[in-house]
Amino acid sequence: MTIVKASMAGTVWKVLVSEGEQVAADQDVVILESMKMEIPIAAEEAGTVKRIIIAEGDFINVDDDLMEIE
């Protein structure tokens, strides 16, 4: 299992996948908004989205867990 983490502080603008969905390595799974810019966050490895920890609109800090991929 891998945890997708936030690369920087910001607000969760969009969650691009849902639980149970198959994702590829390097696929964008979340878009953060920080300093008026969209920051895509990609899954490092391919797998199934097991749990989404955050919701759109949440404020998150750098290194916060965003989702689990199995």
Partner 1 sequence: MFKKVLIANRGEIARRVIRTCKRLGIETVAIYSEADKDSLHVKEATESFCIGKPPVAQSYLNIEAILDVAKETGTDAVHPGYGLLSENASFAKRVEEAGLTFIGPKSNVIQTMGSKLEARKAMQQAGVPIVQGVNEPIADTDEASKIAEEIGYPVMLKASAGGGGIGMQLVNNEEELRKAFEGNQKRAQSFFGDGTMFIEKFIAEPHHIEVQVLADAYGNVVPVFERECSIQRRNQKVVEEAPSPFISEETRKKMLDAAVDAAKHIGYTNAGTIEFLVDRDQNFYFLEMNTRLQVEHPVTEEITGLDLVEQQLKVAKGEKLAFTREDIQKNGHAIEVRIYAEHPVTFFPSPGKITKLELPEGEGIRHEIAVETGSDVTPFYDPMIAKLVVFGATREEACTRLADALRGYVVEGIQTNIPMLLKTVTHEQFLSGVTTTKFVEEYYLPKATTVGK
Q: Smallest distance from the beta carbon of 28 to partner 1, in angstroms?
A: 9
Note the residues at the interface with partner 1 (CB under 8 A): 7-11, 34-37, 39-40
Q: Which is nearer to partner 1, 27 or 48 (CB)?
A: 27
Among 1, 20, 52, 50, smallest CA distance to 41 is for 52
Whether the CB-CB separation of 45 and 26 falls below 8 Å is answered with: no
CB 10 within 8 A of CB 60: yes
**Smaller CB distance to partner 1: residue 37 or 53?**
37
Nearer to partner 1, 42 or 68 (CB): 42
